[in-house]
């Protein structure tokens, strides 16, 4: 594995200005092939079930023949735990959170195959971190959480790419509708939304307040993402599903 390189001042400024950042060529072609084999192992297990289930310490979110995601995927595919804690990811998170230690809350495999209809509506990750409850404290800077999304396949304009609303993080945490869980529509300026395209091995980083979504895969190739999320060590008090989840990394 390559030694981690720090984010440049320009990259940090870009992250702070728009709420997200894309870092190209973080992982090599060979490393992505290793990660793909882990994803293929997850797919084989997922195809054997038709509803959500815990398998070998990982939570499979499946409905029928559609694989939505696998939570703490490295429990049953250790190669994904290895790359999920790779110092290239950890060092960027530590730099942005201005801490020498982080807690890994997310180690997920996300799947979008052509025509499967998987979508993620506009949201902030701060809601999933339980911001505003006793389970979360903004203990540091930049919301105390950084999500990393590594492209396993080319992420194109047509296969359900991540979409961000630049600058939306400056509003901080936005309460959602208590009945629907959705953000207020006046906070979602879709005219400013930007789709992010990436080659395999590139990584998108974003904070907990950045509003983002992804639409259905209307292309001809899969769009798989490897998500790993890191929190300031004093922020989280929630137990996450998966054997070994919530590990601390330096």
pTM of the shown model: 0.96
Domain annotation covers residue 93: yes
Quick check: 243 pLDDT over 90? yes
- Rounded Cα gap, residues 55 and 45, in angstroms: 8
Quick check: 117 pLDDT over 60? yes
Dihedral in degrees, nearest 10, Cα atoms 98, 102, 106, 108: 90
- Rounded Cα gap, residues 80 and 69, in angstroms: 14
Domain annotation covers residue 192: yes
- Rounded Cα gap, residues 63 and 61, in angstroms: 7
Domain annotation covers residue 5: no
Domain annotation covers residue 245: yes
More confident residue, 3 or 41: 41
Quick check: 31 pLDDT over 90? yes
Total domains, the chain: 1
Domain annotation covers residue 167: yes
Scanning 47-179, the segments in alpha helix (DSSP H) are: 78-84, 87-97, 125-128
Query: 33-55, pLDDT tens digit by residue?
Result: 999 999 999 999 999 999 999 99
Q: Are strands 212-214 and 162-164 parallel, antiparallel or unpaired?
A: antiparallel
Query: 129-157, pLDDT tens digit by residue?
Result: 999 999 999 998 999 999 999 999 999 99
Domain annotation covers residue 1: no
Q: What percent of the chain clears pLDDT 90, i.e. is strictly above it?
A: 97
Q: Give me the pLDDT at residue 155, please.
A: 98
Quick check: 3 pLDDT over 70? no
Q: Which residue's entry shows tokens 């995927």?
A: 73
Domain annotation covers residue 4: no
What is the 8-class DSSP label of residue 132?
T
- Rounded Cα gap, residues 146 and 209, in angstroms: 10
Q: What is the CATH number of the domain that holds 70?
A: 2.60.120.620
Domain annotation covers residue 9: no
Query: 54-94, pLDDT tens digit by residue?
Result: 999 999 999 999 999 999 999 999 999 999 999 999 999 99
DSSP, collapsed to helix, strand or coil, labels residue 182 as coil
The torsion angles phi and psi of 226, rounded to 5 degrees, stand at -110, 110
Query: 160-175, pLDDT tens digit by residue?
Result: 999 999 999 999 999 9
Q: pLDDT band for 2, please (50, 70, 90 cuts).
A: low
Angle at 109 between CA 104 and CA 111, to 5 degrees: 150
Quick check: 1 pLDDT over 90? no
Question: Mean pLDDT, to the nearest integer, of 114-137?
Answer: 97
Find the length of the chain: 250
Among candidate residues 221, 215, 223, the one with its CA nearest the CA of residue 117: 215
Domain coverage including residue 213: 15-249
When the pLDDT of each residue in the chain is averaged and rounded to a whole number, the result is 96
């Amino acid at each position: 594995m390559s030694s981690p390189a720090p984010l440049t001042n320009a990259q940090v400024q870009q992250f702070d200005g728009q709420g997200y950042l894309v870092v190209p060529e973080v992982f090599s072609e060979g490393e992505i092939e290793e990660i793909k084999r882990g994803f293929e192992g997850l797919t084989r297990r997922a195809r054997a079930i038709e509803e959500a289930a815990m398998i070998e310490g990982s939570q499979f979110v499946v409905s029928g023949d559609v694989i939505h995601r696998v939570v703490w995927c490295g429990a049953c595919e250790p190669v994904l735990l290895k790359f999920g804690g790779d110092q290239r990811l950890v060092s960027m998170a530590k730099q942005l959170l201005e801490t020498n230690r982080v807690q890994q809350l997310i180690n997920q495999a996300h799947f979008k195959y052509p025509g499967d209809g998987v979508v993620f509506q506009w949201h902030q990750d701060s809601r999933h971190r339980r911001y505003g409850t006793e389970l979360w404290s903004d203990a540091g800077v930049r919301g105390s959480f950084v999500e990393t999304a590594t492209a396993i396949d080319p992420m194109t304009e047509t296969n359900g790419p991540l979409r961000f609303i630049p600058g939306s993080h400056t509003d901080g945490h936005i309460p959602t509708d208590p009945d629907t869980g959705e953000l207020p529509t006046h906070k979602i300026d879709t005219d400013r939304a930007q789709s992010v395209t990436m080659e395999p091995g590139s990584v998108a980083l974003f904070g907990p307040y950045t509003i983002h979504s992804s639409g259905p895969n209307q292309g001809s190739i899969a769009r798989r993402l490897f998500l790993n999320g890191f929190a300031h060590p004093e922020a989280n008090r929630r137990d996450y599903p998966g054997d070994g989840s919530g590990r601390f990394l330096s």
